[in-house]
Homo-oligomer: A and B are copies of this chain.
Amino acid sequence: MPHDILIATEADLREAVGLDMTTVNTVEAAFAALASGTVVMPPILSMAIEEANGEVDVKTAYIPGFDGFAIKVSPGFFDNPKLGLPSLNGLMILFSAKTGLVEALFLDNGYLTDVRTAAAGAVAAKHLAPERVTTAGVMGTGVQARLQMEAAHLVRPFERVLVWGRDGDKAAACAADIAASLGIEARAEADPARLVADSQLVVTTTPAREPVLRAEWLHPGLHVTAMGSDQGEKNEIDPAALAAANLYVCDRVSQCETLGELRTALKAGIWTGGTPPELGAVVAGHHPGRTSADAVTICDLTGTGAQDTAIATLARRVCSERGAGSTMAV
C-alpha cells in the first residue's frame, strides 16, 4: 500500500528553514528532552573509507513528544575539493515514530546540519555566555564560523566580531561576510590571544588537532563554545582550560569523552571533575549555568542525533505549511 512522502532538496530547504529563533527554540527543546533521560540516542555509526580519504557518520535519536525521528547520514570526503566538490554532503530521513514509515527525505547536502549545529551554539550562548556580550570572537573561517556568529547574535546582540584563522585572507573574507550579514563591525584579528582577551564570547570552529585556544588566555566573564571537534583526533581547546573553567558543559558526555574536547583532557589526566553536566541539564534547569558575570564557562559541542530529529521535524512542518518540496508515492 503506497504512501506519500515529502522530498525536499537543498534549494527547497534553504527557502524554508533559516537560522532564526524558531530554529534555536526547536533545538533548545531537543536539548531539554535529552536531559529528561527518556531520549533514545544510540552511539554514532561511523565508517572510514581510507582509499578515498572519506568517512561517513550516521546519527539518530528518538525524542518522546516529537512525532518523528530523523536518521542523518553525513559523508565527509576530504579529497572532494580537488574535484571541485564540497567535502561534506548527506541527507536526512524523517520516519514516523509511530509506524516507522518514511515520511520525508531531506536531500540537503548537509544544509540542515549546518543550521542545527549553529543553533546549538546559540543555545549554549543563551544559557552560558555573560548577559552582556559586546565583542564575540570566532576561531576558524569556514561555514560554521559565519553561522555560529549569526546564531549567537540572535541571543547576544553583540556589536563587534573578531575573526582569527591560520590564513589571514580567509579570516578577512569571513569577517567581511559576517559584517555584511549582521550589519555590525567585524574584522580579522591575527593574534588569537588578543581575540580571546577582547571577547566575552568565543566560538572555536576549526578542525584543529592541536589546541588553538590556550588555558592562560581564559579571563573572567568569558564563555567559550568549542564546536569543531567531532572526531577522536581533533582538539581545539587546551585541556588545562577545561579544568580551569568554573563550568565545563558537554552536549552529550558519552560523545565528548570520545569525540570532543573532554577526550584529550581525560587522556592527559587533566580532567578530574567527574562526569560533567550536559547542556540539556542546564537548559532544563537541572544544573546551574552561568552563576556570575565573572565566571568562565566552556561548552563542548560534538553534535547530537537529537538536534537532527528536531531540525528535521521543523523542516517537515515548515515544508508542509508552505507546500515546499514535492511528494512521491512509495
Give A18-54 interface residues, CB cut-off 8 Å to B. Answer: 40-49, 51-52, 54
- From A74-82, A177-185, A204-212, give the one contacting chain B: A74-82
A107 contact set on B, CB distance < 8 A: 5, 102, 328, 330
**Contact mask A68-106 → B, CB, 8 Å, 1/0?**
010101011100100111000111010101111110010
A215 to chain B, nearest CB (A): 35
Determine how close the nearest CB of chain B comes to the CB of A39; give it in whole angstroms: 11
* A98-B69 CB under 8 A given contacts A40-B48, A45-B43, A328-B107: no
User: In the bound complex, what is the Cα–Cα distance between A77 and B84 (angstroms)?
Assistant: 42
Number of residues on chain A facing chain B (CB within 8 A): 53
Q: How far is the CB of A111 from chain B (nearest CB, A)?
A: 11
B89 touching A100 by the CB < 8 A rule?
yes
Does A58 interact with chain B (Cβ within 8 Å)?
yes
CB neighbours (8 Å) of A56 from chain B are 60, 69, 71, 95, 100
Give every chain B residue within 8 A of A100 (Cβ-Cβ). 52, 54, 56, 75-77, 80, 89-90
Q: Which residues of B contact A232 (CB under 8 A)?
A: none
> When chains A and B are docked, how far (Å) is the Cα of A251 from the Cα of B40?
29
Interface centre among A11, A56, A328 (most CB of B within 10 A): A56
In the complex, what residue of chain B is closest to A61 when comparing beta carbons? Answer: B47
Contact A52 B97 (CB under 8 A): yes
Check: A64 CB closer than 8 A to any chain B CB.
yes
Cβ-defined contact, A46 with B42, below 8 A: yes
Contact at B60–A77, with CB atoms within 8 Å? no
